[in-house]
Chains A and B, each alone.
Chain A
Amino acid sequence: MKIFTCIKYVPDTSEAEVKLDSEGTGVDSSRFSFDINDADNYAVEESVLIKEKHDGDVTVVSIGPKSSDVMIRMAMAKGCDRAIRIEDERIATHDPLMVAKVLAGAIKDQEFDLVFTGCMAEDYGQAATGVALAELLGVSHAAYVKKVEIEDGKVKVHRELEGGLREVVEISLPAVLTIQTGINEPRYAPIRGIRQAQKKELKVMNLDDLGIPEGEVNAEASRIVLEKLYIPVVESKAEIIEGEPEEKAEKLASILVKGGLV
Chain B
Amino acid sequence: MMRGMKMTTENQTFAEKFDLLGCIQCGRCTGGCPVTVRTNLNVRRFVYDAYDEGLLEELARVTDIWDCTACHTCAVRCPKGLKPLEVLIGLRSLVVESGKTQPTVRDALESTFMEGNPWDKPRATRNDWMEGLDVRIAEPDQKVENLFFVCCTIAYDPRVQVTARNMIRLLKKAGVDYAFLGTDETCCGSEVFTLGEDGLFEMLIEDNTELLNEYRADRIVALSPHCFTTFNTHYPDLNKPVIHYTQLLAELLEQGKLVFEKGLHKKIVYHDPCYLGKQSGVFEEPRRVLQAIEGVELVEFNRNRERSLCCEGGGGKMWVESESKIERLAETRIKDAHALGADIVAAACPFCVLTLDDALKAEGFEEEMQVAEIMEILGELEEMQDNSSSAQEVED
A and B: direct contact (Cβ < 8 Å)?
yes
Cα of A26 to Cα of B120 in the assembled complex, Å: 24
Instruction: Flag the segment in B110-118, B274-282, B341-349 that touches A.
Output: B110-118
Pick the residue among A31, A35, A78, A190 that contacts B124 (CB under 8 A).
A31
Please determine whether A190 and B97 come into contact, CB atoms closer than 8 angstroms. yes
Cα of A31 to Cα of B128 in the assembled complex, Å: 11
Chain B residues with CB under 8 Å of A195's CB are 5, 7, 199
**Closest residue on chain A to residue B183 by CB atoms:** A31
Please determine whether A191 and B122 come into contact, CB atoms closer than 8 angstroms. no
Q: Mark A167-201, 1 if CB is under 8 A from B, else 0.
A: 00000000000000000011111111101000000
Cα of A93 to Cα of B20 in the assembled complex, Å: 57
Please determine whether B121 and A187 come into contact, CB atoms closer than 8 angstroms. no
Chain B residues with CB under 8 Å of A32's CB are 122, 124
Q: Smallest CB–CB gap between B353 and chain A, Å?
A: 23
Pick the residue among B5, B96, B202 that contacts A188 (CB under 8 A).
B96
Question: Is A22 among interface residues, defined by CB-CB distance under 8 A?
Answer: no
Cα of A12 to Cα of B124 in the assembled complex, Å: 12
Q: Is the interface of A mostly helix, strand, loop or mixed?
A: loop
| A contact residues, range | 20 to 34
| B contact residues, range | 20 to 34
Please determine whether A70 and B200 come into contact, CB atoms closer than 8 angstroms. no
Please determine whether B113 and A191 come into contact, CB atoms closer than 8 angstroms. yes
Please determine whether B99 and A33 come into contact, CB atoms closer than 8 angstroms. no
Cα of A70 to Cα of B99 in the assembled complex, Å: 17
Indicate whether A185 sits within 8 Å of B103 (C-beta atoms), given known contacts A12-B122, A35-B114, A191-B113: yes
**Closest residue on chain A to residue B117 by CB atoms:** A33
Indicate whether A190 sits within 8 Å of B122 (C-beta atoms), given known contacts A33-B114, A195-B5: no
Cα of A12 to Cα of B99 in the assembled complex, Å: 23
17 sample A-B contacts, Cβ–Cβ < 8 Å, listed by A number: A31-B124, A33-B123, A33-B124, A70-B2, A74-B110, A185-B103, A187-B100, A187-B106, A190-B96, A190-B99, A190-B197, A191-B5, A191-B199, A192-B199, A193-B97, A195-B7, A195-B199
A residues touching B (Cβ–Cβ < 8 Å)?
12, 15-16, 30-33, 35, 70, 74, 78, 185-193, 195
B residues touching A (Cβ–Cβ < 8 Å)?
2, 5, 7, 96-97, 99-101, 103, 105-106, 109-110, 113-115, 120-125, 197, 199-200, 202-203
